[in-house]
Amino acid sequence: MRILHLSAVKNWGGGENHIENLCSELAVSNPEIYNVIFCVKNGAFHRRLKQSNLNYITAILLPKFDPRFFIKLGQTCKREAIDIIHIHDPSAILLAILADKFYKLPPFVFSKKTSFPIKQRKKTLFKYNYPKIKKVLCVSEETKKIASKGIEDKSKLITIYHGTNLQSKSNQTPFLLREKYTILPAVKIIGNIANHIRAKHLDTWIDVADQIINKNHKKDFFFIQIGTFTDRTEDLIHRMKELNLEKHMVFLGYTPNASNYIPQFDISLITSQSEGIPQVIYESLYHKTPVVSTDVGGIPEVIENNHNGFLSPMHEPEQLSQHILNLSDNKELQHKFKENGYLKLINNFTTKNMALQTLQVYKNILQDG
């Protein structure tokens, strides 16, 4: 079996982490299967893959539908005798379709990793219902439910949770957060890992800090945000300064192996307004760092409110703030969340389970012809 994993994303995020985890797990569990990643040349994913042992091929993608990208994709599939193309982001679907028109490609599998609805436009619906897409792998039941409104053949929809790679964990970092930012031992570190995109709604993140530091006058908290800067970053930093939070908050920007910093957080805070299931939740459960999160997308399928974390509706900084204050003062509750979260992760959300389930999908597609 020869699988090509297709990515047209230029940044590094949870979707690319999923590809890396899937290929790494399959290399261990089924080394006879050939996996190769086809990605954007000189993008963040390409730079990361250079440091790995994974197989990869790159192509230039400047405009959105660069012919050089889909032509090389078609040529690669023929040369490498690819059996299945696993498409990992919406932008890559159209590129695969264009390549298929010229090269008659093998069957497609598409991973739906977000809870964004499929737009009810003719061209979009054509793309998602392209006949070569044999299965749509949804990151959560909520994502599956939302995707079903745009997928005509509901039997194509399957839920496979991504999970976390238990073999690749580390807490090694170039520096310690408390030392670098002179954070006293009594001060609680509230951490977040997310790229500066609309779905993560980092304005709520700042609102939570404002609520705790300025309105509740709790100065023993420090907020650390890790993630790639975008055109939204300038406004976020401006708001931080406007609210006089500079002494209580820092934006690190893109940081390699960001999840290694999670053990240094006292609480992981997720303020997203749209999600599949963010990888940072799985990583936090593994490192036994309590989670306070919004209840969007598939997050409630992992975090059960008051059992292994706290949940709040999106855009509710007051409730998120209260959860943080309640949790930070309650050692017994912290212990409960840590133990329950770790147990649920190990039993349900590992990349080993994800790889086995995905491999079975591949086999079924090839068996069905």
Task: Say whether both 275 and 334 belong to one domain.
Answer: yes
Task: Say whether both 147 and 196 belong to one domain.
Answer: no
| Dihedral angle sign, alpha carbons of residues 155, 156, 157, 161 | positive
Q: What is the mean pLDDT of residues 288-295?
A: 98
Torsion of CA 132, 9, 250, 307, to 10 degrees: 10
Task: Say whether both 314 and 212 belong to one domain.
Answer: yes
Q: What is the mean pLDDT of residues 10-27?
A: 91
Task: Say whether both 336 and 283 belong to one domain.
Answer: yes
Q: How many structural domains comprise the chain?
A: 2
Is 235 inside any structural domain? yes
The set of long-range contacts for 48-53, using a CB threshold of 8 Å and a minimum separation of 24, is 48/12, 48/16, 48/20, 49/20, 52/20, 53/27
**Closest CA relative to residue 113, chosen from 279, 309, 362:** 279
What per-residue confidence (pLDDT) applies to 182?
Answer: 96
Residue with token string 């500079």: 246
pLDDT in tens, 55-81: 999 999 998 779 999 999 999 999 999
Task: Say whether both 139 and 184 belong to one domain.
Answer: no
Q: Could you tell me where the DSSP H helices lie in 186-329?
A: 202-209, 233-242, 279-286, 317-328
Task: Say whether both 19 and 150 belong to one domain.
Answer: yes
The C-alpha R_g of the chain, in whole angstroms, comes to: 21
Q: Which domain holds residue 67?
A: 2-163+350-368
Is 172 inside any structural domain? no
**CATH assignment at residue 148:** 3.40.50.2000
Task: Say whether both 117 and 184 belong to one domain.
Answer: no
Task: Say whether both 223 and 316 belong to one domain.
Answer: yes
Exposure string over 42-54, b if 16+ CB within 10 A, otherwise e: ebbbbebbeeeeb
Task: Say whether both 230 and 341 belong to one domain.
Answer: yes
What per-residue confidence (pLDDT) applies to 97?
Answer: 97
Q: How far apart are CA 295 and CA 300, in angstroms?
A: 6
Residue with token string 């974390």: 309
Contact indicator for 276, 297 with CB cutoff of 8 Å = yes
pLDDT in tens, 141-155: 999 999 999 999 999
| Dihedral angle sign, alpha carbons of residues 342, 346, 348, 353 | positive
Is 171 inside any structural domain? no
Task: Say whether both 342 and 359 belong to one domain.
Answer: no
Task: Say whether both 340 and 361 belong to one domain.
Answer: no
Is 116 inside any structural domain? yes
The SS3 call for residue 178 is: helix
| Residue 44 or 65, more confident | 44
Is 193 inside any structural domain? yes
Contact indicator for 352, 29 with CB cutoff of 8 Å = yes
Is 272 inside any structural domain? yes
pLDDT in tens, 191-206: 999 999 999 999 999 9
Is 144 inside any structural domain? yes
Is 170 inside any structural domain? no
Residue 165 has pLDDT above 90, yes or no: no
Task: Say whether both 217 and 329 belong to one domain.
Answer: yes
Angstrom CA distances, 35 to 1, 5, 51, 175, stand at: 9, 7, 17, 35
What per-residue confidence (pLDDT) applies to 13?
Answer: 84
Please return the burial class of 346, using the count of CB atoms within 10 Å of its CB with bins 0-12, 13-18 and 19+: middle
Cβ partners under 8 Å of residue 167, min gap 6: 28
